[in-house]
Amino acid sequence: MAKLFTEFQLKNLKLKNRIFMAPMCMYMASFDGLFTPWHYVHYLTRSIGGVGSIIIEATAISPEGRITEADLGFYQDEQVELFQNLIKEAHKNKTAIGIQLGHAGRKSQTGGKIIAPSSIPYPGLKTPEAMTKTMINEVIRAFGKAAARAERASFDFIEIHAAHGYLINQFLSPLTNKRNDEYGRNKSLFFQEIILEIRKFWPPEKALLVRVSAEEYHPEGNHPEDISKILKEIPGIDLVDVSSGGVINVKIDTYPNYQVGFSETIKKQTGLPTIAGGLITKAEEANSILESGQADLIYLGRELLRNPYFALRSSKELKQEIEWPKPYIRAK
């Protein structure tokens, strides 16, 4: 059995294979960040295509937390039913569905108030307002409310977006957090408090994932060893989705599997299961990463945009017999 197509279980989350659809901003939300028929088709196509799990794109916990005004939000109760309909259909294909909750912080391009741990602008964007403790508490509570909605919508898991230079990452990074209070002395405190708040509303038997930027590509920024240390100190995390970059505007030398080593480091140093990705396009590549123990799961982004049926095609390449959707069997 090719490891890419073996089952994986974490708490009550049981996956039919180890292929994740990565969260990718689609810029297709309707007014006020609501889910649309376009999203419904987009995600269900990948579910029919055989992925084991889908992480819904970055979904903001407040209006000003959106990256752009065309991004999804989860600060509205009417969003719950829209997501429920998707989840019910995806489950018919044995696909797990999770949601990535986040806040853009200083990288928000909305018309709302731009906030950050420190008043340091991202190049080309507006200067943010340094957050007061009242603002910090409001954001923490908003994460909890979004988690409660996620539970009502019947999501299988939550992923906290602590990567790519967005708000939580801004608190974690010495490049963007220049505070002199407890949130500056302990740069993971904001992250810890968000997890504690989410766990008030998210059942203990359900998995809580975090996405991190393991490497910030700056000598004074965080590196995989730093992120590993932070993760070991924070209870309540079940799995780490390993990415990199985004904190500062820097050109990254990308190549196939360029982030897989970061996943391996975090997996070894924390003992937590990881999802690896980064320009992975071939089934053999993905399977080899799993077989070597560098990660427990594989996320695909752009490859699934090009080829929604990656899993079905990969089963043939790896000579693996898997269940196909009944309407598609004639194409097998």
Return the domain boundaries, the chain: 3-331
The whole-number pLDDT of residue 1 equals 86
The single residue listed with the structure tokens 């990463």 is: 289
**Planar angle of CA 94, 204, 147, nearest 5 degrees:** 75
Cβ-in-10-Å burial (0-12, 13-18, 19+) of 271 comes to exposed
Long-range contacts of 310-316 (CB under 8 A, 24+ apart): 310/19, 310/49, 310/50, 310/51, 310/283, 311/17, 311/19, 311/49, 311/50, 311/51, 311/52, 312/49, 312/50, 313/283, 314/4, 314/19, 314/283, 314/286, 315/5, 315/50
The single residue listed with the structure tokens 């992480």 is: 55
Per-residue pLDDT of the chain (332 residues; tens, 9 = 90+): 899 999 999 999 999 999 999 999 999 999 899 999 999 999 999 999 999 999 999 999 999 999 999 999 999 999 999 999 999 999 999 999 999 999 999 999 999 899 999 999 999 999 999 999 999 999 999 999 999 999 999 999 999 999 999 999 999 999 999 999 999 999 999 999 999 999 999 999 999 999 999 999 999 999 999 999 999 999 999 999 999 999 999 999 999 999 999 999 999 999 999 999 999 999 999 999 999 999 999 999 999 999 999 999 999 999 999 999 999 999 99
Q: What string of DSSP letters covers 182-244?
A: HHHHSTTHHHHHHHHHHHTTS-TTSEEEEEEES--SSTTS--HHHHHHHHHH-TT--EEEEE-
Domain 3-331: give its CATH code. Answer: 3.20.20.70
177's tokens: 């957090």
The whole-number pLDDT of residue 31 equals 87
Cβ atoms within 10 Å of 175's Cβ, excluding its own: 18
